[in-house]
Chain A
Amino acid sequence: MSDPLVFHFDVDGENFTSAGQASTQVKKNLRQIGLSPDIIRRVSIAMYEGEINMVIHASGGVADVTVTEEYVEIVLKDKGPGIESVERAMQEGFSTATDSIRSLGFGAGMGLPNMRRYTDSMEIDTVVGVGTTITMRVNL
């Protein structure tokens, strides 16, 4: 069995217009590996939603993507405010984004639900005032 591939990214929390750079790079990398378009799309969407969340809510963070023969794992880690109620955050339409974020077309309250929808597993480890780590897997 070959060694897993690992990609690491710093997600810049200041620059909203360039948000998605890490996801876009992952998409390119997965294409080069030769994964199927459907898998690439699911990983890209889930990661982009997470990346946007880190920019909107947590002033950035780090993203680690691991590709094994069985799955693609995305770990997103931030030192943001944490999620007060994961249950509410997982509801479609629930959002704490500001009006200026909404005017850009974000803040529809679909981020976390989309991440769950497009992955095979998702774990949220969050502490209010400390930060959030989200681990998602898409099985190959």
Chain B
Amino acid sequence: MALPDGSREINGVYIGDLLSWVMGRAQMDNAWITIMSNVNVIAVASLADTSCVILAEGVEMTEDLVQTACEKDVNILRISQPAYETALLLSQLIS
């Protein structure tokens, strides 16, 4: 986990792995749940202005990924549960 911009709030959730699809549909301040873990994810999260990236299903978070996230002020977390269960958890937290 790395939270270089830890004061951000989550207003909803977006789930998706196709980066352009996420760019087009995710809303600002959404938590973005994905199983994609290449560094382009960080650029997408930064430019689409999501509040954080959550790597679901225990996807590996590489050192490179964390470093890029810190450089670009993108919050990144990792969870062992699948996307749906993660979204349910977030729903409880933000409702």
Chain A interface (Cβ within 8 Å of chain B)? Answer: 16-17, 19-20, 23-24, 27, 37-38, 40-41, 44-45, 48-49, 52, 104-106, 108-111, 113-114, 117
Contacts and interface: CB of A to CB of B under 8 A. Distances in A.
- Give the secondary structure class of B's interface: helix
21 contacts: A16-B40, A17-B40, A19-B40, A20-B44, A23-B43, A24-B47, A37-B49, A40-B49, A49-B20, A49-B23, A52-B20, A104-B36, A105-B18, A106-B40, A108-B18, A108-B21, A110-B21, A113-B24, A114-B20, A114-B23, A114-B24
Contact of B23 (A38, A45, A109): A45
Most buried by A among B21, B23, B36, B72: B23
A38 B38 contact: no
Given A17-B38, A17-B40, A105-B41, A111 B20 contact: yes
B3 interface: no
A104 B38 contact: yes
Most buried by B among A37, A105, A110, A117: A105
Interface string B19-37: 1110110001000000010
B17 interface: yes
B46 interface: yes
A104 B72 CA distance: 19
A106 B20 contact: yes
A114 B72 CA distance: 22
A48 B23 contact: yes
A106 B19 contact: yes
Contacts of B89: none
A113 B23 CA distance: 11
Contact of A48 (B28, B36, B39, B44): B44
B39 A17 contact: yes
